[in-house]
Chains A and B, each alone.
Chain A
Amino acid sequence: KAGVTQTPRYLIKTRGQQVTLSCSPISGHRSVSWYQQTPGQGLQFLFEYFSETQRNKGNFPGRFSGRQFSNSRSEMNVSTLELGDSALYLCASRYGQGNTEAFFGQGTRLTVV
């Protein structure tokens, strides 16, 4: 069974640009959550999608947005990139909306220069 797949693995962008990251959850999983990991702040929750609807949102500015497609794949977009957005962005998938374990992908390493 394939795990959570995130693409691309590495990305370098310039300040002011926008970026789109992709996440394919484990087959059969319908919930996708996104996290930002930095050395200073650790892992912080961005948002969660289930059945194409955002169910939860963390404390990030509106420049961070996401969506989920009917096949449960999810994308995350960051507009007007700032140097502080440099981080490892992780996607986690869960089977359902209830009490189920979250499995993480390898992450996308975003560097903003």
Chain B
Amino acid sequence: QKEVEQDPGPLSVPEGAIVSLNCTYSNSAFQYFMWYRQYSRKGPELLMYTYSSGNKEDGRFTAQVDKSSKYISLFIRDSQPSDSATYLCAMRAGGTSYGKLTFGQGTILTVHP
């Protein structure tokens, strides 16, 4: 079983929709949670970075962490065609493991006009 599970989709939504992306994890040592966006033939781009349980908002993006359930989410409001990409959740433990990110499989999102 993978440490981080993420539904690969694909997910197709109309422009303006609210998108919900989710990951679950099994490793209790994970303390830091990230969401990356990756366009085709590009490297991952950091979208959100969170530590504690709760919500963090940045523009149209909201990241949610529930450590008790080992569940994280990313919400995209007013989705745009330019949001079409693969979304990767990533997480890491603390201490000497700061440099090691464990990724989900990625969810392919298409926002159509």
What residues of chain A have their CB less than 8 Å away from a CB belonging to chain B?
4, 6, 31, 33, 35, 42-45, 48, 50, 55-56, 58, 90, 92, 94, 97-107, 109
What residues of chain B have their CB less than 8 Å away from a CB belonging to chain A?
32, 34, 36, 41-46, 49, 51, 88, 90, 94, 96-106
Contact A99 B94 (CB under 8 A): yes
Distance A33 CA – B92 CA, assembled complex (angstroms): 13
* Smallest CB gap from B45: residue in A: A104
Contact B98 A42 (CB under 8 A): no
14 cross-chain CB contacts under 8 A: A4-B43, A42-B104, A42-B106, A43-B103, A48-B100, A55-B96, A56-B96, A56-B99, A97-B98, A99-B32, A100-B98, A104-B44, A104-B45, A106-B42
Distance in angstroms from A74 CB to nearest chain B CB is 12
Q: A42-B104, A43-B101, A55-B99 are in contact. List 20 more A-B contacts (CB 8 A).
A: A4-B43, A42-B105, A43-B44, A43-B88, A43-B106, A48-B99, A55-B96, A56-B99, A56-B100, A58-B100, A94-B99, A97-B99, A98-B98, A99-B98, A101-B34, A102-B99, A104-B36, A104-B43, A104-B45, A109-B41
Q: Which A residues lie within 8 Å of B51 (CB)? A: 99
Contact pick for A101, options B46, B102, B103, B104, CB 8 Å: B46
Q: Which B residues lie within 8 Å of A90 (CB)? A: 43-44
Q: 8 tightest A-B contacts by CB?
A: A48-B99, A104-B43, A43-B103, A106-B43, A104-B44, A42-B105, A56-B100, A45-B100
Q: Which B residues lie within 8 Å of A4 (CB)? A: 43
Contact A33 B43 (CB under 8 A): no
* Smallest CB gap from A58: residue in B: B100
